[in-house]
Chain A
Amino acid sequence: MNAVAANNQGVSLEVRGLRRTIKGQPILKGIDLTVRRGEIFVIMGPSGSGKSMLLKHIIGLERPDEGEILVEGCSMRAPETMSRYRLAMVFQSAALLSSLSVAENVGLYLCEHRLKPPKEIDRIVAEKLELVGLKGTESLMPNELSGGMQKRVAIARALVIEPQLILYDEPTSELDPLRAVSIGREILALRDRTHATSIIVTHDRDLAFGVADRVAIINEGKILFAGTAEEVHHQPDPVIREFLTVTFKPINHTEQP
């Protein structure tokens, strides 16, 4: 195992010429991007732009037609890469196993891979749940939790893996603004504590510019721009400008008595 994997630091990620077509419809049209060790990299874009599909390719749930994904220079297609580096993903829907309790969900990775004895797993589960502010919820079932709590359990489940790369798919969708801010703070705190590399896919502008070290804008399967938040704000591209500045204006506002 190399030094990076051994010391629990984040890993670098490189995506080269990633292309994917599903049922004749091109979803990813040659994605190139680089994520540095330990940074929070946000991928923003409108719905249907290919953000979540890109994330699924990075974690290995989908296979690209062309191109490759490199973690610390090792191809994700190589079988040893997944075992050498610890990757975790927090799904948009939380994706907790509905038949398992909160504690069983969080401890599932350790339990199934028999990495720790049961008492140690209980201790780690309690510790991770406390980290995400859900102490004492071990025995609850996922359907007894709110959407925000489910997302935090999903984050705790990812943390148990002690990931070097953690992927968040729309972490603030379906959450009220207060919960969204608390999830954003959670992501920042986790990066500071674990030094893991984080990739966040979102269309929540507040979250993106609140936590990102760098931001990439994706549209129709292509990366339009990648850079710091300030650089993105100064981009003249009309698609980026519209995406960053569009606001809701009530149509009949002036007709109100």
Chain B
Amino acid sequence: MFQNIGEMWLLFWRTLEALPLTWRQRRKVAEQLFEIGNASLLMVCILSLFIGGVIALQTGTRLAERGLASLLGGLVGLSMCEELAPVMMAVLISGRIGSAIAAELGSMQVYQEIDALRTMNINPIHYLVLPRMVAISVALPILVVFSMLVGWAGGALVAAANPEIHVSVAAFFSDLRHAVRMFDISKGLIKSLVFAIVIGTVSCHQGLQTIGGPRGVGRSVTKAVVNAIVLILILDYFLTRFLVYFER
């Protein structure tokens, strides 16, 4: 385990060192961005709409019982931007994009494509890892912003449509605007950037470590997704502690 953590740090550090080469790899970054957006945007919208709706439904009825339904906008707004949007989107992207990265790099490793790059003096970190890491680090915060907006909309729709809650869309967003500050949105974005780096590093590391045939690729994909999700949930706690400290 410690060896894996060390290797991942090294991979991340080498990718950071290669950051000045991003402009040279801009075509590949754009391709990866398109892949991530294309594969995830619809799913992000559906998931976020329902997450926002469920929070509004579960908390709205209880708040309404106590005559506090007017606070629902702020509650849904803060839950989405501080916690649910970054964490749920990171889990979704681990499953959809992290697995795809691990499978692609794993197949390239198994079929000696990465060895072929090395014999041509092409650094696999510059050619393969850097574009994927940059793309996922740009895409995930954007997807999280989408998720926040759609989640808020989902919450507002449920709050307005459900007779037990009965908070108008205008009242919902008025409270949300009052409760959610830019710093709260920034907290979500900081989390999403860290999670993106975790997904990119874990997936690329697992892909590059693949040994064996198709079974090895399958193993790498499973490890990439599971390890990334576990790390995201653990880091989420410590990041929240860290950001709460800054809020004071």
Contact = CB atoms under 8 A, between A and B. Distances in A.
Interface of A: 56, 59-61, 82-83, 87-89, 91-93, 95-99, 108-109, 112-113, 157, 161
For chain B, the bracket of interface size reads: 10 to 19
23 contacts: A60-B119, A61-B118, A61-B119, A82-B121, A88-B120, A91-B112, A92-B112, A93-B111, A93-B112, A95-B113, A95-B115, A95-B116, A96-B113, A97-B113, A97-B116, A97-B117, A98-B107, A98-B108, A108-B120, A108-B122, A109-B120, A109-B122, A113-B121
B235 to A, nearest CB: 31
A91 B122 contact: no
**Which of A96, A112, A113, A157 gathers the greatest number of chain B CB atoms within 10 Å?**
A112
A99 B132 CA distance: 15
Given A97-B108, A112-B127, A61 B115 contact: yes
B113 A88 contact: no
B122 A95 contact: no
Nearest to A113: B121
A98 B120 contact: no
Interface string B204-224: 000000000000000000000
A61 B121 CA distance: 11
A99 B111 CA distance: 13
Contacts of A108: 120, 122
Q: Give me the 6 closest cross-chain CB pairs, A-B, nearest first.
A: A95-B116, A95-B112, A89-B119, A109-B120, A112-B122, A91-B112
Nearest to B122: A112
Interface of B: 104, 107-108, 111-113, 115-122, 127
Contacts, number: 49
Main SS of the interface on chain B?
helix
B120 A91 contact: no
Nearest to B123: A112
Contacts of A91: 112, 115-116
B72 to A, nearest CB: 48
B113 A87 contact: no
A112 B120 contact: yes
A19 B63 CA distance: 73
Given A97-B108, A112-B127, A59 B119 contact: yes
Contacts of A161: 120
A61 B118 CA distance: 7
A63 to B, nearest CB: 12
Given A96-B116, A98-B107, A112-B122, 14 more contacts: A60-B118, A91-B112, A92-B112, A95-B115, A96-B113, A97-B116, A97-B117, A98-B108, A98-B113, A99-B104, A109-B121, A112-B127, A157-B120, A161-B120
Contacts of A92: 112
**Which of B111, B116, B120 gathers the greatest number of chain A CB atoms within 10 Å?**
B116
B127 A95 contact: no
Nearest to A108: B120
A83 B121 CA distance: 9
Contacts of B127: 112
A177 to B, nearest CB: 25
A87 B119 CA distance: 7
A56 B116 CA distance: 11
A36 to B, nearest CB: 22
Contacts of A97: 108, 113, 116-117
**Which of A82, A83, A95, A96 gathers the greatest number of chain B CB atoms within 10 Å?**
A95
Nearest to A89: B119
A118 to B, nearest CB: 12
A108 B122 CA distance: 9
A198 to B, nearest CB: 15
Contacts of A89: 116, 119
A87 B111 CA distance: 20
A59 B119 CA distance: 7
Contacts of B121: 82-83, 109, 113
Contacts of B104: 99
Nearest to A109: B120
B211 to A, nearest CB: 11
A36 B111 CA distance: 31
Contacts of A60: 118-119
A64 to B, nearest CB: 16
A118 B31 CA distance: 20
